A and B are shown apart, each in its own frame.
Chain A
Amino acid sequence: MSEDIFDELSNSVLTFESDEVKKTTQKALEKGIDPIDIIEKGFTKALKIVGDEYEKGEFFLMELIAAADCVKKVLDEILNPLILNKKNRRKTLGVIVLGTVKGDIHEIGKNIIASFLFAAGFDVHNIGTDVSVETFVEKAREVNADVVGASALLSTTLPEQEKIVEAFKSAGLRDKIKLIFGGSPVTEQWVNDIEGDGFAGTPLEAIKLVKRLLNINE
């Protein structure tokens, strides 16, 4: 019986419609299913399926993001408020702050990475676009981030990434927090030059990179 509801939860995520996921979540709660089990046994399974199918080439970028978005919405709106003890919330592999650098409002790529990292099990704080160096540092301190990622899509805003590295050094956080960078003009060479910790060209690479930086074994 309870197995069925977890399958139902997982399948609702695979419809990629948040209303479906909400409905099934409500149904599960009415049946007395623990919110943490809804996440762990229902959603995590669905996100793994979507991730595996994407790796195989069967699912596309949009589906992966849609699935992650559905789950995130239900977590934010329904489940997290129910889970009073923050530590009991979704088990997380690490805390990540993501944003687009000052002067740049491109965000699709960064949002894709946010969805993928969320789906992979990380706690992602997506702080939007045109983010100042100071805000990156403040947010990282506030949420006790393990990783901070900054995206730049323009060659003119690329130097902001270098400033971020400097700012984390000045704040005394450089040793505690890994800094990763992305964006169309960014290369591995550039990230090495500015003494960042890593670069990824695709969402899947980004997941691998973060796991490697945080010593998480798959």
Chain B
Amino acid sequence: MLEGIKGGRLNDFLTTNEVEDIHSTSVRILSEVGMQCRSDRILKFFENVGAEIYMKESKTKRIVKIPESLIKEALKNAPSNFPINARNPKYNIKIEKNKTHFSFGASATPYIIDPESGEYRKPTKNDLVDAIRLADALENFHSVGAIAGAFDVPHKVQYEHEWEVLLNNTSKHISFWTPSGYSARKALDMAEVIVGGPDELKKNPIISLGGETVSPLIIPKELEGLLEFALAGLPVLSGPIPFGGATAPITLAGSFALSNAESLSILIISQLANPGGPFIYYANSFQLPFTKNAQYAPEATVGGIFISAQMARYYNLPSCTIGPISLSKVTDAQAGAELMQGVLLPTLMGINFVALAGHLSSGNVASMEATVMCDEIIGHVSAILDDIRINEETLAFDVIKEVGPGGNFMTHKHTLKHMRETYVAKHKNNVFFDGTHESLWIKGNRKDAYMRANEKLIRILNEHYPEPLPKHVQEKISEIVKEAENKKLKKRKD
């Protein structure tokens, strides 16, 4: 079992009245405006509970008006803590109050920064294998998602190939995405092979899935993937991403209320499929980069981290967020600042599951170096927020008295006894927060943070090979991928 970071040390930002104003606006959005549901399967679930459904004009105008009672029911049923397991039980985690866990990647980006040339290029299935091996090695990631897409396989079966890579190359929990119910089913089939069947998988949830609405207020067919996972009893994460000024109001509060409404609609879908099933909440308030400089808006942090965490607490739901992802195109100073912000703030707010580590350029570019940096940043933040031991031994009055003015503590027994408990002693191979003297830095070829992370990355890729799946399991999983290829690729020829 991996312990989460002790999060939740920041106080709430909004008053209870303000939180309730947001909530009641979201309730009005769902009940008075409604969501357009583009999935027949999901629509059926709403029909079954008697939600008002308006089939106007064309087939695509299917508006579901979600009454407050459904929202209340879903909030009542959804659990506030649950296990998130892993192929290797030593990597099991528990989603619980004020414990923060970080997840590697989550998005199949179309570019990867080549570790050798430093150039952008299209990622391949092999790159994904490397990235997942890396994720398996980096100790502060308790969950793993794809960081780069497998763009050298046929596009229609890209996700099946990616799930295959994930399941083969890490024994940690896997939290990822699928573009359809079919792909989600295939991912579940693969995981079932590993744990021994659907009932075993429900009890031992080694995979989870994120799902997104399309803003404003559309339940897309792609959400059938999330439905499949919910039906299978596995954890699902909501991820509505409206952009203020474009797909949501420009004002932070309105944008958040809309996002919150969409997130609640995903919660309801999960609870209609499986009452009491594990759900992780997220809402935000991104802003369209509408100025010439297309800057990153602080409003996204306020909504996606501060308000989102507070709403989750109000709903008594676990929370997730988009964490250490950078808008920078390279792993530079901007990336460093954004990565630290993306680690520190969600943890301080006690968000339980922080995903998307290691993506640059808003999630279009994968940087394995950025994940190496993130891993160390998470370690630092974890140490900063860890419990502080104040007792006679740690206050060390007698030691101070013994050493006295002008003495030194370097070789005192107390120093030798406790120095290995310090963070730097436990992490002596870290490279990001470099503290060497400038003379050594000059002699050592002036390596900046990127170069140091790159060296560590290459070393890990040369050394770390994850615990493999049994041969017959590997074969079964690749059969499932072939099955998908036969179905999807042959269809196209017909």
Chain A 198-214 per-residue mask, 1 if CB under 8 angstroms from chain B, else 0: 01111001000000000
Residue A65, interface by CB 8 Å: yes
Q: In the complex, are the beta carbons of A202 and B440 less than 8 A apart?
A: yes
Residue A111, interface by CB 8 Å: yes
In A101-137, the 8 Å CB interface with B consists of: 108, 111-112
**Could you say which residues of chain B place their CB within 8 Å of the CB of A61?**
410
Q: In the complex, are the beta carbons of B419 and A60 less than 8 A apart?
A: yes
Bound state CA distance, A145 and B410, in angstroms?
28
Bound state CA distance, A143 and B416, in angstroms?
34
Give the contacting residue for A16; candidates B408, B416, B438, B439; CB below 8 A.
B416
Q: In the complex, are the beta carbons of B411 and A69 less than 8 A apart?
A: yes
Residue B294, interface by CB 8 Å: no
Bound state CA distance, A65 and B415, in angstroms?
12
Bound state CA distance, A199 and B442, in angstroms?
13
Give the contacting residue for B411; candidates A16, A187, A200, A202; CB below 8 A.
A16
Q: In the complex, are the beta carbons of A201 and B410 less than 8 A apart?
A: no
Tell me the number of A-to-B contacts counted with CB atoms below 8 Å: 41
| SS of A interface (majority) | helix
**Could you say which residues of chain A place their CB within 8 Å of the CB of B413?**
17
Bound state CA distance, A65 and B411, in angstroms?
7
Given A199-B439, A201-B437, A205-B440; A60-B411 close (CB under 8 Å): no
Residue B462, interface by CB 8 Å: no
Residue B425, interface by CB 8 Å: yes
Give the contacting residue for B415; candidates A57, A62, A205; CB below 8 A.
A62
**Could you say which residues of chain A place their CB within 8 Å of the CB of B438?**
187, 201
**Could you say which residues of chain B place their CB within 8 Å of the CB of A65?**
410-411
Q: In the complex, are the beta carbons of B439 and A62 less than 8 A apart?
A: no
Which chain B residue has the least Cβ–Cβ distance from A186? B439
Q: In the complex, are the beta carbons of A202 and B437 less than 8 A apart?
A: yes
Given A16-B416, A57-B429, A62-B416; A187-B410 close (CB under 8 Å): no
Interface residue tally for chain B (C-beta within 8 Å): 17
**Size category of the binding interface on chain A:** 20 to 34
Chain A 39-70 per-residue mask, 1 if CB under 8 angstroms from chain B, else 0: 00000000000000000010011110110010
Given A62-B416, A66-B416; A201-B411 close (CB under 8 Å): no
Q: In the complex, are the beta carbons of B439 and A188 less than 8 A apart?
A: yes
Bound state CA distance, A69 and B419, in angstroms?
18
**Could you say which residues of chain B place their CB within 8 Å of the CB of A62?**
410-411, 415-416, 419
Bound state CA distance, A63 and B438, in angstroms?
24
The contact sample of 30 A-B pairs, CB cut-off 8 A, is A16-B411, A16-B416, A57-B428, A60-B425, A62-B410, A62-B411, A62-B415, A62-B416, A62-B419, A63-B416, A65-B411, A66-B410, A66-B416, A69-B411, A108-B410, A111-B408, A187-B439, A188-B439, A199-B439, A200-B439, A201-B436, A201-B437, A201-B438, A201-B439, A201-B440, A201-B443, A202-B436, A202-B437, A202-B440, A205-B439
Interface residues of B (CB under 8 A from A): 408, 410-411, 413, 415-416, 419, 425, 428-429, 436-440, 442-443
4 cross-chain pairs, A with B, having the tightest CB-CB distances, nearest first: A201-B439, A66-B411, A201-B437, A201-B440
